[in-house]
Every structure is written in C-alpha cells, then in structure tokens.
Amino acid sequence: MDNNPNQNSGSSIEFSHKILLPNFFIVGANKAGTTSLYYYCSQHPEIFMAKAKEPMFFTANTPPREQENINKADKFDLYYQYFTLQEYLGLFETATEPIRGESSTIYLSHPDAAVWIRKISPDSKIVAILRNPIERAISDFEFQTKVNQTEKRTLSQAMNDSLNKRIDPSHQDLVFGNLSKSPGRYVNLGLYSSQIKRYKQYFPEKQLFIADYEEYNTDTINFVKKIYSFLEVSDFTPNANRLNTSGKSKPEVEKDLMSKMKDFFRDDIKQLQSLVSFDVMKWLD
C-alpha cells in the first residue's frame, strides 16, 4: 500500500453505482473499552454499527479488491483480513441511519489502515481511546489468559518476553492480522505516538476524537454522549453495561518489571503528550 500522503491521499474510490460507505470508525486501542463503545453506539437510533464487530477490512496488505478464490480452510484469516470489497460494503447495505460505523481495534496500530480508510471514505470520523499502555498490556494478558485461554506464561514472563521482543517458539501468540508474528505484542500495541501521528497525517482534527480511557471508565455516560455529539447525532442515554472484561482482579506487578515497562514507554509517552489534549504523563507516575 502507498503511504505517501501527497499521492491522492484525500481522494475516494469511485463506484459505478450508489453504495453505502461507512463514515465512522472506532479504531482502538485494544483493551480500552471498544467492545462496550461499539454496543453503546449501536443503541443510538441514528447510528448503524456493522454486525461483524471487527471486520478488519483495512488491514490487508494489498488494495481493497474483489477476491473470489480465498483459502476457505484458513477461517481466521478469512474473517479478519480477507473480506472482498463487495462483502465489506455488504455490512452496511441495510443501513438507513446517517451514521454507519464499525469497530476494528487493529486499525490504530496497523501501518496501512489509516491511509486506506482515508482513500475509501475520506470524510469519516475516527474515534481512538488511549489507555495507560502498561495497564493495557496487563489487561491484554489477562484476557488472553482467562478468556481466550491461549496465554500460558506468567505475567512476568510474558511482559519480559515482550520487552525483549522474543517469544518461546512453542507459545502460540493470539494476535490479530499482520501482528500475529509480533513477539512484542503486549508492549508494541501501546506505542501510541506513531499510531496517532498516522491518523493526524491523513485526517483533519475535526474528524478525530482522541480521548482518555480513564475519563471513559470514570464517567461512561457523559463520555459516550461526547462521542454522540462528535458524530452530530441527537442526545441519547445508552444502557451503559460494560462488555468484554476479563474480571476485576488484577495481578501484582513486580516493582522491577513496572520500572522496566515505564522506561520502555517513557519516550513514546512524552511524544504522545504533544499530540493529545489530555494528560498522559500521569502514566509514568
């Protein structure tokens, strides 16, 4: 994919017949309440959310295309990466609402997603919720351990492996899309500064809602209402039950490991502070 913003980055693909394009994307971050937010948005009468919660269409390594011969045996890739353009747009064909959205958390960290969302639907509005990257990594670990039951290492082993960018060859790291081979998954997904820079490169500020997970977690109703306002839909009070949590108990993090993780994220957090309007330096306290 071409990441050069000077080469038609603002143009949309033209189609021979009228179609319904998505115009709203929840792009992440992973383990930052996006499943619940998807649910809250789907409740609003003026918002249509794709039934496939994470189609991940814009993570393909080639331009969106019709693809008739897909390896049907690889169901994981079929669901998460290889929708044809026709299949993807079919997710929105029954929509009558003015806002049509989807939620794929890999879009925030994937290097090509922002430019391809821009090319397909340049007027789209983008929502990104950023969580303390250390808390995000631990929550991700807990989810893989308790819910997916794919993580067999201890927290300390998993985080140190991730920090060292290495992994036990016998361990099957459950990761979406092109990050499936990333041994640094737990920490790499929390390097937000470059991820946010990409979206600021391709979308104007008025189309971006970048917010603090802590605010979302503390005052969910008012936070969601801010998103409704950003999407320019009517006032509405959602049923704010939280979904997709891995449990209330959190493992103790060894002091040495916490120190190593803060050191790892320090420079990235400092860079991120210049890109967002809320305090992220508190993540280093």
Q: Please report, for the domain that includes residue 106, its CATH number.
A: 3.40.50.300
Predicted confidence at residue 129, as pLDDT, reads 98
Predicted confidence at residue 166, as pLDDT, reads 56
How far apart CA 62 and CA 245 sit, in angstroms, is 33
Predicted confidence at residue 181, as pLDDT, reads 46
Please check whether residue 77 lies inside any domain of the structure: yes
Predicted confidence at residue 128, as pLDDT, reads 98
Mean pLDDT of successive 10-residue segments in the chain (285 residues)? 46 58 96 96 97 84 49 44 74 94 94 93 97 96 88 93 68 40 81 96 98 97 98 96 63 92 97 98 97
Predicted confidence at residue 271, as pLDDT, reads 98
Predicted confidence at residue 245, as pLDDT, reads 61
Predicted confidence at residue 149, as pLDDT, reads 85
Predicted confidence at residue 88, as pLDDT, reads 86
Please check whether residue 9 lies inside any domain of the structure: no
210: β partners: 128
Considering only the C-alpha atoms of the chain, give the largest distance between any 2 of them, rounded to a whole number of Å: 60
Please check whether residue 69 lies inside any domain of the structure: yes
What's the pTM? 0.83
Predicted confidence at residue 2, as pLDDT, reads 46
Please check whether residue 267 lies inside any domain of the structure: yes
Predicted confidence at residue 182, as pLDDT, reads 64
Predicted confidence at residue 117, as pLDDT, reads 96
Please check whether residue 6 lies inside any domain of the structure: no
Please check whether residue 148 lies inside any domain of the structure: yes
Predicted confidence at residue 20, as pLDDT, reads 87
Number of structural domains the chain divides into: 1
Predicted confidence at residue 150, as pLDDT, reads 83
Domain range spanning residue 131? 24-284
